[in-house]
Every structure is written in structure tokens, then in C-alpha cells.
Amino acid sequence: MSSGAALRRDGKKLVRSPSGLRMVPEHRAFGSPFGLDEPQWVPDKECPRCMQCDIKFDFITRKHHCRRCGKCFCDKCCSKKVPLPRMCFVDPVRQCAECVLVSQKEMEFYDKQLKVLMNGATFSVTLGTSEESELMVCRLSNNQRYLFLDGDSHYEIEIAQISTVQILTEGFTPGGGNTRATGMLLQYKEPGAQDVTQMKFTASEDSNSNKKQSATWLAAMHKAAKLLYESRDQ
């Protein structure tokens, strides 16, 4: 694909919704697989009272909609404005107390773990039932839509086609405190294929620094998988 075609495909546009300004993909199909759609707002006539504290709305007590869940609240219960990158908002938006906590936790993914995934890590990769493995650098594409694997071979796995992500660990204890991520099983469908393809990623044993980098990358991928499943279930 030419660079011009790639730029057109990944182009963005600024749109205004009742919730605020959003920077969204030109084409919906090319959006981030971790994104969420804007919720439908609960109609004003269906919420005479705050859906958190039950105070009645009037000329003094005004109603506000949470931009993440769409429910209706008073100012006290929906006063904070926090970033919501999963819905592509340009500026921080008003959210209820419950949604604020969720959005703030997600910001760690957008501030730190996305960068880890894009920087990549080295793994020994085994395809399907093969007994042979290949040393490859695995990283997330800048548009968040592909997993690139580079070694002697090259693979591009579309994130939206991933069906299962299983993180492999060792050193299990009942409390789980001493576990260490050592690899990953990934199942996905290739375009036009009926069967699921499986890949096994094993952390590189070259050095302690590589082990740490791989473990950090796997932890970020574990969080990415959770967001991916949430986006599909909305």
C-alpha cells in the first residue's frame, strides 16, 4: 500500500456532538479497536431526579448527562471533567463519579502502556503446531489497528481479528504475587480464512533487560485485551 493511501485511510476529522468535540476517523471501519461509541443520553423527561443521589431537578438543581454512561445526574454527582480518549474527545468531558474512576484507570493504558506496545519487545514466536520458532520483534502499529511481527518473516495481525489473548505465567502462588509473565498464546482469524490461527510468544531469554522488557510488554498486552473485549461487548 502506498503511503498516500495509508494517510487517506487513517485520516481524521473533527466532529461536534452534544457531548463535545471529537477527533474521529474519516471512516468508521478504520477506528481504534479499543474505542467506545458515545452512549445514548437518557431523555430529560425520563429523569426527573438525579440517578445517583435522587435529588429532584428544578430551576436551581440542573441536570447533567455523563458523557461516558449517558445517565442523568445533578452537578454534585457529575461535576468532574476528565479525559476520555476511548471516545475520541478532544478535551476532558463531564462524567459521573463511577465513570471518572474507570476513565482515570484507563488513562494509564493511554499514557504508558500504549507506548510500551508501540515500542515493541522481542519474542520467540511459534506458529500453529510447528515445532520451529523464530525470533521476532512484536509491536503495535501507530494507528493501534495491527500487531506487527518482524524477523526473517513478517506478519501483520489485525487487532480486530484477535479472538483470544492468554498470558502465560510461571512461579504461581495462591496469592499470585510472585507470578511472572513469560509468554502469550494468541488466536486470530486471517482475512478470508475460516479457521483460527494460533501463535505462541515466548519471552526472549537473551538478557535480564530483554526479559523485563518482554514482561512489561505482555502486561500492557493483557490490559489491551481487556479493553478490546469491552469494546466488542458494548
Nearest to 152 by CA among 125, 134, 139, 138: 134
Helix and strand element counts for the chain (H, E): 4, 13
pLDDT digits 0-9 by tens, 114-135: 999 999 999 999 998 888 999 9
> Is residue 207 within 8 Å of residue 218, measured between CB atoms?
no
Q: What is the mean pLDDT of the chain?
A: 88
Is 177's pLDDT higher than 70?
no
Is 23's pLDDT higher than 80?
yes
pLDDT digits 0-9 by tens, 141-172: 998 999 999 999 999 999 989 999 999 988 65
Is 106's pLDDT higher than 80?
yes
Q: In whole angstroms, what is the distance from residue 72 CA to residue 50 CA? A: 6
- 4 Cβ contact partners less than 8 Å away, ≥ 6 residues apart: none
pLDDT confidence of residue 22: 92
> Is residue 156 within 8 Å of residue 146, measured between CB atoms?
yes
Is 1's pLDDT higher than 50?
no
The band of 194, judged by pLDDT with boundaries at 50, 70 and 90, is confident
pTM summary value: 0.80
